[in-house]
Chains A and B, each alone.
Chain A
Amino acid sequence: MSGEAGEALLSVRNLRVAFGSPQHPLLAVDGVDFDVGPGEVLGIAGESGSGKSVTLRSILRLIHAPGRVSGQVLWRGRDLLALPEEELRRVRGGEIGVIFQEPMTALNPVLSVGLQIRENLKEHTRLDAAGRRKRAIELMDHVGIPAAQSRLEDYPHQFSGGMRQRAMIAIALASNPQLLLADEPTTALDVTIQDQILKLILRLRSEMNMSVILVTHDLGVIAQTCDRLAVMYAGRLAETGPVAALFRQPRHAYTLGLLNSVPRAGQLRQPLASIPGQPPLLSRLPRGCAFAPRCGFVLSACREAPPPLVEVAPDHRSACLAHQAVAKA
Chain B
Amino acid sequence: MSLTLTSGIAAAFGNGRRRHMPLLVGGAIMALFLLFSLIPGTFAPYDPLAFNYMHLSEAPSLAHPFGTDNFGRDMLSRVIWASRIDIQIAIFCTIFPLVFGTIVGALTGFYGGWLDAVFGRLVDLVVTFPFLVIVIAIVAVLGPGLFNMYIAVSSVGWVFYAQLMRSGVQVQKQSDYAAAAHVLGYGEARIIFRHLLPNAITPIIVYWMTDMALAILLGSSLGYLGLGAQPPTAEWGVIIADGKNFMSTAWWISVFPGIAIILAGVGFSLVGDGIADIFRRRH
On A, residues with C-beta under 8 Å from B are 60, 62, 88-94, 96-98, 100, 102, 105-111, 119-120, 123-124, 157, 168, 171-172, 181
- A94, B187: Cα distance in complex, Å: 13
Q: Are B180 and A100 in contact (CB under 8 A)?
A: yes
- A98, B181: Cα distance in complex, Å: 10
Is B230 part of the binding interface, using a Cβ–Cβ cutoff of 8 Å? no
Q: Known contacts A111-B195, A111-B198: does B176 contact A106 (CB below 8 Å)?
A: yes
- A181, B180: Cα distance in complex, Å: 12
- Within the complex, what minimum Cβ distance (angstroms) separates B68 from chain A? 52
- A94, B180: Cα distance in complex, Å: 13
Q: Known contacts A108-B177, A111-B195, A111-B198: does B183 contact A124 (CB below 8 Å)?
A: no
Q: Mark B256-283, 1 if CB is under 8 A from A, else 0.
A: 0000000000000000000000000010
Q: Are B184 and A120 in contact (CB under 8 A)?
A: yes
Least CB separation from B195: chain A residue: A108
Max count, chain A CB within 10 A of own CB: residue among B176, B181, B183: B183
Q: Are B179 and A110 in contact (CB under 8 A)?
A: no
Q: Mark B169-204, 1 if CB is under 8 A from A, else 0.
A: 000000111011111111100100011001100000
Q: Are B176 and A93 in contact (CB under 8 A)?
A: no
Task: Please provide the chain B residues from 223 to 238 with a CB less than 8 Å away from any CB of chain A in the complex.
Answer: none
- Which residues of B have CB within 8 Å of A98? 180, 183-184
Q: Known contacts A89-B187, A111-B195, A111-B198: does B182 contact A106 (CB below 8 Å)?
A: no
- A96, B184: Cα distance in complex, Å: 8
Show 17 A/B contacts (Cβ-Cβ < 8 Å), sorted by A. A62-B183, A89-B185, A92-B182, A93-B184, A97-B183, A98-B184, A105-B175, A105-B176, A105-B177, A107-B180, A108-B181, A109-B199, A111-B194, A111-B195, A123-B185, A157-B282, A171-B180
- A108, B176: Cα distance in complex, Å: 9
List the 3 shortest-distance A-B pairs measured between CB atoms, nearest first. Answer: A93-B184, A92-B185, A93-B185
Other A-B pairs beyond A106-B180, A107-B180, 5, CB < 8 Å: A89-B186, A92-B183, A100-B180, A157-B282, A171-B184
Q: Are B184 and A100 in contact (CB under 8 A)?
A: no
- Which residues of A have CB within 8 Å of B190? 123
- A109, B283: Cα distance in complex, Å: 9
Q: Known contacts A109-B199, A111-B198: does B182 contact A62 (CB below 8 Å)?
A: yes
- Which residues of B have CB within 8 Å of A106? 176-177, 179-180
Least CB separation from B197: chain A residue: A110
Partner of A109, one of B177, B181, B184, B185: B177
Least CB separation from B202: chain A residue: A110
- A106, B180: Cα distance in complex, Å: 6
- Within the complex, what minimum Cβ distance (angstroms) separates A166 from chain B? 15
Least CB separation from A103: chain B residue: B176
Q: Known contacts A110-B198, A111-B198: does B177 contact A93 (CB below 8 Å)?
A: no
- A78, B255: Cα distance in complex, Å: 76
- Which residues of B have CB within 8 Å of A94? 185
Q: Are A102 and B183 in contact (CB under 8 A)?
A: no
Q: Are A123 and B184 in contact (CB under 8 A)?
A: yes
- Which residues of B have CB within 8 Å of A157? 282
Q: Are B186 and A102 in contact (CB under 8 A)?
A: no
- A88, B179: Cα distance in complex, Å: 15
- A97, B184: Cα distance in complex, Å: 7
- Which residues of A have CB within 8 Å of B187? 89
- A28, B176: Cα distance in complex, Å: 20
- A137, B183: Cα distance in complex, Å: 22
- Within the complex, what minimum Cβ distance (angstroms) separates B185 from chain A? 4
